[in-house]
Structure 1
Amino acid sequence: MTTITVFKGDGIGPEITDAVIDILNAAKAPLTYEFFNVGAAEYERNGALIPEAAFQSFDKTHILLKSPITTPIGKGFRSLNVTLRKKYDLFANIRPAKSNTAVKTPFPNVDLVTFRENTEDLYAGVEEKISDDEMHSIKIITRHASSRIIRSAFEYAVAHGRKKVTCVHKANIMKLSDGMFLDIFREIAPDYPQVEADDKIVDNTCMQLVMHPENFDVMVMPNLYGDIISDLTSGLIGGLGLLPSMNIGTDYAMFEAVHGSAPDIAGKHIANPTALLWSACMMLEHLGENETARRIRQAVDDVLAEKKCLTPDLGGTAKTEEYKDAIIAKL
């Protein structure tokens, strides 16, 4: 049995976490859990967004399943996602987007993966006030961080039988920072002759993704572009409720749904746990439990295909618990 840390988050976080844990248990995943409440609600209760005991658990287990967290809006509060990524050097954010049978979109054959560098770029939040009328935000790109995310994308492509890796950049304008990222991509690509390598400017990438997403396979890019483009890819498949992700470092791994805590529907029992469940499947695969992950994915696919028991965001009327029970019945 593997012990993992679970952050239940707030908003819809506890509801979808409970559903996912029930499905994991029904699939007999060989896991035990250490649960923690985190986020804005925890701050209101105990004065800490993430309790120290929660950090200590992750320090020990090295595996975190995290549901959506609300970071209070206002000065002095840094994004908890950014905090966790920086603290544990979770340098690779990996977000697969694949079409499904439940949601009809103009693009029925999307199957692509975004590799987002997770620790630097503008997203690192290094800013300075020049005057009341001028603020500077510093874009940081390093050879170390760029090399490891690019190599990770190629390694993933090889391991998963992917055909192409595309580097996304704005090197035509940011010739030093994005220029170095692109140069490193071109240096590394020849080490993987079995994988096609190309590059696209980020604005052109966005246009091409909504015209011909079938032309993309694996994409790798600096942090801010990855944040934007991965949300775009979720739109191709029906929304953030269907987009899982994992954040991988050398020693630690965090698995999370990409969507937010949706406080407007919290407690209504209509939240869709699919993104968090598929993130949990990525966690199982990371732990070598490929067959358990495959069985859960197949059960979800079967329920989506039947369209009899879907949550409102998928066009149905089912409660979260009813959708969960339908998946468990398929297992």
Structure 2
Amino acid sequence: MKPPVLHLKEPSALCLNRPPQFDSRHIQAFTNDVGRGRREVLEAKFRLLGKRLKPRTSMVAFSEMLPVLRAGPGRQAELQRLNAWMRGWCREEGFGFFRNWEPRNHLLQDTPKKTNNRTPLVITYSPQLKPVQHIINKLQPILEQDTKLQKALGDRPIVSYRQPPNLKMILTNNHRTYHTNTNPGTFPCNKPRCQLCPHIHSADTIIGPNQVSYKIKNTYSCASRNIIYAIMCRKCPSAMYIGQTSQTLRQRINAQKTDIRQDHKEKTVSCHFNQKGHSLNDLTTCILLQRPFTSALERESSELSFMLKFDTLREGINTHSNYLTHYQDSFPSYHL
């Protein structure tokens, strides 16, 4: 049964004559009580009430008064002084004390996070794995006997269970497919935050500065990686740059766009699109080839093959092909 809540407006005799099944008292003073008398009078009433309640019950708890909304500074200061006195008095008399009024700057302080040296052990839940926690508790003292193992493994691991796949997870898929085109070429991924989609050139045939055409055979998107790509200009048909990357097309072209915004003079793509009459909106790009390249040398070899095919070293905006320029005659057409 919930014990009664007593108010200072009740006579002390009524507070003392509560039913005997209640073995504790919680006294709450409200702000109206402050308005009825001076602080010295209220302190005297608290002392008298505490003196009479102390021998008759096992626990007495006082609760500080709540702040008043839209009260003036003087009224709030009076409440704070009374609460401060009540907190010290309860500590002296051995009474319980409930804090209802925390300073705003105290509540806004960041709570320091507790650090531990326990490694989380995440496993898929199964009824057969219930003894795992018991096994860890039993064998952990053996590991702690070795100082090297204790330093490497840390304290007892925290066992966490992930939900196993149920029938709903097996039959349905909440992954949203953004790119559903199956035609050859490079197509926008249509993700809401993708900044590359407006620059995608979706044609399946690419014509180089030397009027040599190349037909794209597969379907790519902004998220395709390990690729050979081309950058073109909407205003200059002869401006083509061939590049390679192990990243996604989105990551690589975003880096190129950053170079253009910062006007890096040492970058050929940045120099072209910072010319008079050009802007970042004139940039278009597409993927020429994607293969499971295992090294940068393989990608650079295919990159040089496309440079030679479109002659972008002389007629485009490629200026060098690293050390592979010395081996131009050794790259047959099967690289394409």
Bucket of the pairwise TM-score, normalised by the shorter protein: under 0.3
TM-score w.r.t. structure 1 length? 0.21
TM-score w.r.t. structure 2 length? 0.21
User: If you compute each CA radius of gyration, which structure gives the higher value, 1 or 2?
Assistant: 2
Higher RCO (Cα < 8 Å, 6 or more apart): 1
* Structure whose residues are more often helix by fraction: 1
